[in-house]
Amino acid sequence: MANPRSSVSLRPDIDALPAYVPGERPAKGRQVYKLSSNEVPFPLLPAVGAALVDVGPDLNRYPDMHATRLVEALAEHHGVKPGRITVGNGSVAVLAHVLAAVCEPGDEVVMAWRSFEAYPIATQVAGARPVQVPVDAAGRHDLDAMAAAVTERTRAVLLCSPNNPTGPALTQSEVRRFLETVPPGVLVLLDEAYLEFVRQDDPTDGVALVDDHKNLVVLRTFSKAYGLAGLRVGYAVARRRLSAGFRAAATPFGVSSMALAGAVAALNCQDEVRARVDHVVAERTRVVDALTEQGWRIPDAQGNFVWLELGRRATAFADTARAQGVLVRAFAGEGVRVSVGERDGNDLFLDIAADWLRDRAGLSVL
């Protein structure tokens, strides 16, 4: 049969995908502080390193497709049945599996904006349309506006708490009220990638809400607090029926043997993980206090990063910081996200931020 197309074409919505911009990496041969990605500034936990060595001789074999040891460990950690856990190659991959399992062409996915830049990409890849609801002046989710954006075409709502890149977190009471507002046929995904860093009253605990809300899916990751960003392990907690569908949509053998072993080892290091998180939180507090004293207005920072709302000067600030040895993540026309890193790197960033204000005293960006 003749085919009138002269070349293979991509789906129009794939051609139109926004590009995911990773945190800038240091150039070879130059000493810089990488504060452009939300990583923790610590080496692998010793137990994780040992686990990776142990699994090395077996890398000629496929990993456990069902991630049995990790699923069982997570189920015990959260006090849920293993059938509620879906493991994937980072929480972004799990998000993609979730949306692929529920979305059809013409569906809509409501999300706060600005929020995690992978959300609209994953939504469009799943064939749905992202509906972006602006965050409020404090960088927080406007839950009333998000609820109002839900229509008969809405298939899912994405909540990011703490919100990346602005920083504020939702409370458990807010999430509970939102779940009571959203129709039960609309999936609510609560992304708690930075949950361990939250120090506000009434923090979210999505897993505790799953029993009462059949439409809730909770996303967690080992990339942040557990320090396994390079291994790529994330997971979802949801009702068994939904989890079975998410696993069916996942890539077979999608999580490597090293990632599985490292995650199990990290999960068993809760005291060490908490100590490292407490260190990051203390540095975050120091950085926020210093920026506030300088004159910056910083949204409530509940993740392992801070947000500078610089508007059209965001790229210029990032260029200035790079030239002085600090990489930050600029969102052109909006702001700059700066991860909490080593103390020396944080200090250099604070010097750059102070100089920027002195050089531009009186500008409206403050």
Spell out the domain ranges in the chain.
21-38+271-359, 46-268
> Residue 360's pLDDT is what?
78
> Residue 25's pLDDT is what?
72
Q: What integer is the mean pLDDT of 279-283?
A: 98
Q: How many residues does the chain have?
A: 366
| Structure confidence by residue, pLDDT tens digits, 291-308 | 999 999 999 999 999 999
Q: Of 191, 245, 235, 183, whose CA–CA distance to 214 is shortest?
A: 183
Q: Of 125, 156, 127, 109, whose CA–CA distance to 18 is shortest?
A: 125
Residue 226 has pLDDT above 60, yes or no: yes
Residue 354 has pLDDT above 70, yes or no: yes
Give CATH superfamily name and number for 21-38+271-359: Aspartate Aminotransferase, domain 1 (3.90.1150.10)
Q: What is the DSSP string of 276-301?
A: HHHHHHHHHHHHHHHHHHHT------
Of the listed ranges 10-14, 240-244, 361-365, the one predicted with least confidence = 361-365
Q: Of 91, 176, 163, whose CA–CA distance to 132 is shortest?
A: 163
> Residue 2's pLDDT is what?
57
Q: What integer is the mean pLDDT of 160-169?
A: 98
Q: What integer is the mean pLDDT of 207-220?
A: 98
Percent of the chain with pLDDT over 70: 96
Q: Of 41, 37, 40, 39, whose CA–CA distance to 20 is shortest?
A: 37
Please report how many Cα atoms fall inside a 13 Å half-sphere around the Cα of residue 73, on the Cβ side: 18
Q: Which of the four pLDDT bands, split at 50, 70 and 90, describes residue 1? A: low
Quote the crossing angle between the two packed helices 343-359 and 270-294, to the nearest 10°.
Answer: 20
E strand residue ranges, 175-237: 187-191, 216-221, 234-237
**Pairing status of strand 335-339 against strand 305-308:** antiparallel
Q: What integer is the mean pLDDT of 308-316?
A: 97
- Residue 3 backbone dihedrals phi, psi, to 5 degrees: -115, 120
Q: Which of the four pLDDT bands, split at 50, 70 and 90, describes residue 7? A: confident
| Structure confidence by residue, pLDDT tens digits, 108-159 | 999 999 999 999 999 999 999 999 999 999 999 999 999 999 999 999 999 9
- Residue 122 backbone dihedrals phi, psi, to 5 degrees: -60, -35
> Residue 5's pLDDT is what?
67
- Residue 335 backbone dihedrals phi, psi, to 5 degrees: -175, -170
Q: What integer is the mean pLDDT of 162-177?
A: 98
> Residue 15's pLDDT is what?
75
Q: List the structure tokens of 216.
A: 């809730």
Q: What is the DSSP string of 297-322?
A: ------SSEEEE--GGGHHHHHHHHH
| Structure confidence by residue, pLDDT tens digits, 56-70 | 999 999 999 999 999
Residue 365 has pLDDT above 50, yes or no: no
- Residue 177 identity (one-letter amino acid): R
Q: What is the pTM of this model?
A: 0.93
> Residue 324's pLDDT is what?
96
Q: Which residues of 37-61 are buried (b: 16+ CB within 10 A; e: fewer)?
A: bbbbbeebbebbeebbeebeeeeee
Residue 19 has pLDDT above 90, yes or no: no
Report the SS3 class of residue 334: coil
> Residue 29's pLDDT is what?
56
Is residue 19 classed exposed, middle or buried when 0-12, 13-18 and 19+ CB atoms within 10 A define those classes? exposed
> Residue 17's pLDDT is what?
77
Distance of CA 147 to the CA centre of its chain: 22
| Structure confidence by residue, pLDDT tens digits, 244-275 | 999 999 999 999 999 999 999 999 999 999 99
Q: Which residues of 243-267 are buried (b: 16+ CB within 10 A; e: fewer)?
A: bebbbeebeeebbbbbbbbbbbbbb
Residues facing 34 on adjacent strands: 327
Distance of CA 132 to the CA centre of its chain: 17
46-268: CATH topology is: Aspartate Aminotransferase; domain 2 (3.40.640)
Q: What integer best gives the mean pLDDT of the chain?
A: 94
Q: List the structure tokens of 342.
A: 């080593």
Distance in angstroms (rounded) separating the CA atoms of residues 309 and 190:
25
Report the SS3 class of residue 112: strand
Question: Which residue shows structure tokens 């990346």?
Answer: 164
- Residue 132 backbone dihedrals phi, psi, to 5 degrees: -100, 125
> Residue 362's pLDDT is what?
46
- Residue 215 identity (one-letter amino acid): N
Report the SS3 class of residue 53: helix
> Residue 277's pLDDT is what?
98
Percent of the chain with pLDDT over 90: 89
Q: What integer is the mean pLDDT of 39-43?
A: 96
